[in-house]
Amino acid sequence: MKNICLLGATGSIGEQTLDVLRMHQDQFRLVSMTFGKNAEKAIPLIKTFQPKYIAVGDMDTYQKVKQASFSHECQIGIGEEGLIEAAVMEEVDIVVNALLGSVGLIPTLKAIEQKKTIALANKETLVTAGHIVKGHAKQYGVPLLPVDSEHSAIFQALQGEQNKNIERLIITASGGSFRDKTRQELESVTIEDALNHPNWSMGAKITIDSATMMNKGLEVIEAHWLFDIPYEQIDVVLHKESIIHSMVEFHDRSVIAQLGNPDMRVPIQYALTYPDRLPLPETKRLELWEIGSLHFAKADFERFRCLQFAFESGKIGGTMPTVLNAANEEAVAAFLAGHISFLAIEDLIEKALHRHSVIQHPSLADIQEVDKDTRGYVNSILT
């Protein structure tokens, strides 16, 4: 029996993690969970899974949960302190970080210090402070297990292999909601258009990131840290069907790919069971004759400018990826609120990157200050 802490229980990854736990109740127990404000969705989950500890985003949500009637005893925390408490509980074996944004960084670091295995679905943790997180994981001997389908695919392809034999990582990308539109056509797209992803069911922020290809850019930076691979050895290829989740090419030109129908429960479960595997009967079996054909295209940096920003920021290093992530989070929030156009997301990110003076070896305090400063700058442009 593995005891699980789930950070971000009401989000898309959180819900699918709970699906896995529900299917394997003899293997996993949810001992702590966190969510932001969606008490209506969370309260039934609390009643079903009966975690010992719950953390919520604010006092209003705390009051809603406090007033609910549960058949078991549980503690309730609030804010970042609550996130940390959930992650460092003594019983916890694995922390699934399914939080949205850079809020996942500190709880992850604290969990590593308590030698909890980290199942990481929160890209921003490594994008914002990859050198600190990896240093922490090495210091405390803690594995970082990828949950993103692309990184899980690479991780699976590398089982039994040696990193010294890697020629390159090939990360696949669906292309998002607007993969078939020209930049001119993007000028008039709506929020509803952007949220209509052709392959995956995800949260609003990640779906917008997919449409801008920032999601793939963040994955490139994450892959750099997870697998210790230079950016020059990471490629992105457009693959509309999302059947091949990523590939690894070795020095002998052999390429190993991981395939499957789009279902996030597969990589989630693999992170929870590694190095073992459990059945997942509810996911659809891949029948290649039903697919018929697979399509690939080279990623165009001029068409997908956010992907270019990510590669450039990663290569510069230091605090530049922190700026990239913070500016993107604020710009996407502004788009979802109807304050800016879709293409203005790129413009805001570019302005934030151009104004920043890089700190090459930032401390955690430096990263937090740069993150705060960048958000303030982007919002000052919006007002």
| Confidence check: pLDDT of 54 > 80 | yes
The pTM score is: 0.94
Rg for the chain (alpha carbons), in Å?
Answer: 20
Task: Give the C-alpha separation, 203 to 222, whole Å.
Answer: 19
Which residues fall in the annotated binding site for NADPH?
10-13, 36-38, 122, 124, 203
For range 60-79, the mean pLDDT: 92
Q: Give φ, ψ of 169 to 5 degrees.
A: -100, 135
Name the one residue in this structure whose structure tokens are 């605090």.
Answer: 319
- Residue type, position 238, single letter: L
Q: According to the model, what pLDDT value does residue 269 have?
A: 98
For range 168-177, the mean pLDDT: 91
| pLDDT tens digits, one per residue of 14-53 | 999 999 999 999 999 999 999 999 999 999 999 999 999 9
Q: According to the model, what pLDDT value does residue 180 have?
A: 82
Give the three-class secondary structure for 77: strand
Decide the pairing of beta strands 53-56 and 144-146.
unpaired
Which residues fall in the annotated binding site?
10-13, 36-38, 122-124, 148-150, 174, 197, 203, 210, 215-216, 219
| Confidence check: pLDDT of 363 > 90 | yes
CATH code for the structural domain at 2-142: 3.40.50.720
Q: According to the model, what pLDDT value does residue 360 have?
A: 96
Which CATH number fits the domain 164-261+285-382, given the four candidates 1.10.10.10, 3.30.590.20, 1.10.1740.10, 3.20.20.70? 1.10.1740.10
Q: pLDDT-derived band of residue 190, with 50, 70 and 90 as boundaries?
A: confident
Q: According to the model, what pLDDT value does residue 45 have?
A: 96
| pLDDT tens digits, one per residue of 316-327 | 999 999 999 999
Q: What percent of the chain has pLDDT over 90?
A: 84
Angle at 64 between CA 77 and CA 23, to 5 degrees: 75
Which residues fall in the annotated binding site for Mn(2+)?
148, 150, 219
Which residues fall in the annotated binding site for 1-deoxy-D-xylulose 5-phosphate?
123, 149-150, 174, 197, 210, 215-216, 219
Q: What percent of the chain has pLDDT over 70?
A: 98
| pLDDT tens digits, one per residue of 111-125 | 999 999 999 998 889
More confident residue, 206 or 91: 91
Mean pLDDT over each residue of the chain, to the nearest integer? 94
Decide the pairing of beta strands 234-238 and 53-56.
unpaired
| Domain parsing of the chain, residue ranges | 2-142, 164-261+285-382
| pLDDT tens digits, one per residue of 196-250 | 766 655 678 888 898 899 999 999 999 999 999 999 999 999 999 999 999 999 9
CA 176 to chain centre: 16
| pLDDT tens digits, one per residue of 124-154 | 899 999 999 999 999 999 999 999 999 999 9
Q: pLDDT-derived band of residue 101, with 50, 70 and 90 as boundaries?
A: confident
Q: Which residues pair with 76 in a beta bridge?
A: 54
Burial degree of 116 (CB within 10 A; 0-12, 13-18, 19+): buried
Q: According to the model, what pLDDT value does residue 94 have?
A: 98
Q: According to the model, what pLDDT value does residue 202 have?
A: 64
| pLDDT tens digits, one per residue of 283-296 | 999 999 999 999 99
| Confidence check: pLDDT of 372 > 60 | yes
